[in-house]
Structure 1
Amino acid sequence: MWTSTKIGIDLGTANVLVYVKGKGIVLSEPSVVAISTKDNRVLQVGMAAYEMMGRTPETVEVIRPMQNGVIADYVVTEAMLKHFISRATGRFAVVKPDVMICIPAGVTNVEMRAVHDAAIQAGAKRAWLIREPLAAAIGAQIPIAEPTGNMVIDIGGGTTEVAVISLYGIVTSNSIRVGGNKMDDSIASYIKRKYNLMIGERTAEEIKIRIGSAIPMEEELSMEVRGRDQVSGLPRTVIVRSNEITEALADPLESIIGAVRTVLEDTPPELASDIIDRGMVMTGGSSQLRNISQLLADVTGVPCYVADNPMNCVAIGTGVALEYIDLLRDSLSGDF
């Protein structure tokens, strides 16, 4: 008798990660799709499409079908899901897989239905949806079964999810559409404003990773940045320093601080005392920004830690949640 493969998918704005039971994370690729502008055919998905970004002729368009954690282009998202599911299960899989997909805590019922339907159309036998902070907590091995307060801050590409979790459920949460992509946009805008230099999305992300910091650094880092001069239209190179990037990131970081403060203010007193003892746990790719945990600890007065392997926490938690569907039933939605 054939059994269904169990797959957990972190369907992120910036990256898609796929977890398969027994194998761990088998795929981690950008959530980017290249399509033909003539007939809307899907040409490339994932890393192959990302490599084309900013370098395509007019006959090819590279798009992110997920925006701010929700589906912006249903048809392309379905094609992307189909591609990743078939790669995870093998092209000639006999039985359709059971799929768990994580969604931002703040999505509407209509957006949830769109994700569920896209998964079924992409080849899932059954599909469940789990809210991102809950998946992140499971992946970070936080003891969510206990009647104690655990606070998770998940900073992804499109959204930041902040939640207090206890007894397998979310007690209070806040979801804002600010994440790594907004940080990249802020860096690109800053370089354009200060240096009259136009840079692309990929260059902005590289600057953030290589020299970005949430607070000013004593020993500054610097890097060469190449772009197009706004005035002359010719290529030009400038030297950018890490403290300039800290200044560029001020607005998105202020939004994240606001979201964390809101959740702390809404947390019941008993759980708040647990959080002071245990601290806040950070997950998501953008939690790897230098000194961001230090910034949040300074402004809230609550200890803050970055989880081990923060990029993969949500995907691992989404996959592991398939093993505990009965316990998590009240916190999930989908095919019961």
Structure 2
Amino acid sequence: MDKNNLSVGIDLGTSNLLIYVEGQGTLFNEPSIIAIDRATKKVICVGNDAAKLVGKTHDKFDVIRPLQGGVISDINLIQEILLFTLNRIFSSEIGVIKKLVICIPSEITNTEKEAIVELGHNLGIENTIIEQEIKAAALGSGIDIFAPKGYMIVDIGGGTTDFGILSLGDVVLSKSIKIAGDYFDKQIIDHVKLIHKLEIGLQTAEETKILLASLTGPYPTTEEGETLSYEAMGRDLITGLPRSTIIGAKEIREVLLNCFDPIKSVLLSTLEETPPELSGDLVDSGILLSGGCSQIPGLTTYIEEIAKVPVRLSEVPLTAVVDGCKKLLKMTSKYFYSEV
């Protein structure tokens, strides 16, 4: 392998940024967050270091997620976070990158796609290619999307839930809804405010979701078999003083089931619009789930009851997209080049 002619794949996710380097594996997998000095506009840190600053208000820096709900809120900050990260990986020698594949949410506009390609050019990488995350996730999960057969993937990430029907190497139909992990966290915050009269932060909400989330079947339990609960700490809405409250798994299931109602609607509309021949294929091929929130206990059963076809979880739900990048980079460009 020519170390001066490397290929790089990037999963530009709302929650996490993952970077794969040919021959070296996934070298970066951290939150898509950047901290900027207000005075100098220079990058202070990105990823895990920036995530530690979330919720810690400060008059000298801003902590920003450049992607919000699967939409680019600031293309310049996307460039800054990539430049900072790639410089760190390649010791400021980005010139060794000769091919770059960037995977994006399906709802990004053509203008945003053009901006991302231009972003790669600005980094000095002329051979910059973009692909939809659902396509990469299917490849990364081991699906032969080039076969004359229909496949469906549902990717539940941080900002969006994306639905895709794939066949013969292309996305035949795709839909997206801005309801996913980040939205779940906000709904948990609202629930705790309403029921417990306590204001909690996003990190506490996420911890609660991770520990207590489920959609069907038994509630999460302790090693002793007792239903799990979580002691959340925050600010009392009445007194303004610090306080804690106990949140139960049953509460969180009710919150999530409400969140999944619109996801259910888009799932059904996607299936209804799928061409008949491909729809018939789904009886055998079923539906593949990927993304961080696809791991919610009981989700496969929940989707099976709605779609009436087999549902399985990707073996690599968190890294399916970047694993797909690895395969895309090995293919001839005619198979995966996306024109904008």
TM score, norm. by length of structure 1: 0.94
- Letter matched to residue 293 of structure 1: T
Task: Assess if the C-alpha contact under 8 Å between 1:102 and 1:131 holds in 2.
Answer: yes
- Letter matched to residue 69 of structure 2: N
CA distances 1:17-45 after superposition (whole Å, capped 9, x unpaired): 11111222111000001112233221111
Task: Assess if the C-alpha contact under 8 Å between 1:24 and 1:316 holds in 2.
Answer: no
- Letter matched to residue 258 of structure 1: S
- 1:333 maps to 339
CA distances 1:304-329 after superposition (whole Å, capped 9, x unpaired): 11100200001111232121143524
- 1:109 maps to 110
What fraction of aligned residue pairs are identical, expressed as a percent? 35
Q: How far apart are 1:216 and its partner, in Å? A: 6.0
Q: How far apart are 1:3 and its partner, in Å? A: 4.1
- 1:225 maps to 232
- 2:224 maps to none
Question: 1: distance between equivalents of 2:215 and 2:115?
Answer: 35
Task: Assess if the C-alpha contact under 8 Å between 2:134 and 2:155 holds in 1.
Answer: yes
Q: How many residues align?
A: 333
- Letter matched to residue 111 of structure 2: V
- 1:255 maps to 262
Structure 1, 67-76 or 82-91: larger mean CA deviation: 82-91
Question: 2: distance between equivalents of 1:286 and 1:61?
Answer: 27
CA distances 1:223-281 after superposition (whole Å, capped 9, x unpaired): 11111111111111111111101111233311221221111111112211211112100
Question: 2: distance between equivalents of 1:252 and 1:318?
Answer: 30
Matched, 1:275 2:282: yes
- Letter matched to residue 261 of structure 1: L
CA distances 1:84-134 after superposition (whole Å, capped 9, x unpaired): 222333333553342101112222111111222223223434210001111
SS in 2 for 1:294: helix
Question: 1: distance between equivalents of 2:180 and 2:84?
Answer: 25
Task: Assess if the C-alpha contact under 8 Å between 1:103 and 1:132 holds in 2.
Answer: yes
Matched, 1:242 2:243: no
Within-5 A mapping of 1:104-143: 104-143=105-144
- 2:297 maps to 290
Task: Assess if the C-alpha contact under 8 Å between 2:152 and 2:286 holds in 1.
Answer: yes
CA distances 1:160-193 after superposition (whole Å, capped 9, x unpaired): 1111111100111111122111111111111111
CA distances 1:48-93 after superposition (whole Å, capped 9, x unpaired): 0001111232222211011122220122111101122223333335
- 2:22 maps to 21
Task: Assess if the C-alpha contact under 8 Å between 1:217 and 1:243 holds in 2.
Answer: no
CA distances 1:204-233 after superposition (whole Å, capped 9, x unpaired): 111111111123635532111111111111
- 2:33 maps to 32
Q: 1:194 to 1:84 in 2, by over 3 A?
A: same
Question: 2: distance between equivalents of 1:125 and 1:30?
Answer: 26
Q: 1:99 to 1:326 in 2, by over 3 A?
A: closer
Q: 1:221 to 1:333 in 2, by over 3 A?
A: farther
Within-5 A mapping of 1:140-289: 140-215=141-216, 217-218=218-219, 220-289=227-296
**RMSD across aligned positions (CA):** 1.8
Task: Assess if the C-alpha contact under 8 Å between 1:20 and 1:88 holds in 2.
Answer: no
Structure 2: which 5+ residue stretches go unaligned? 222-226
Task: Assess if the C-alpha contact under 8 Å between 1:85 and 1:123 holds in 2.
Answer: no
Structure 1: which 5+ residue stretches go unaligned? none
SS in 2 for 1:309: coil
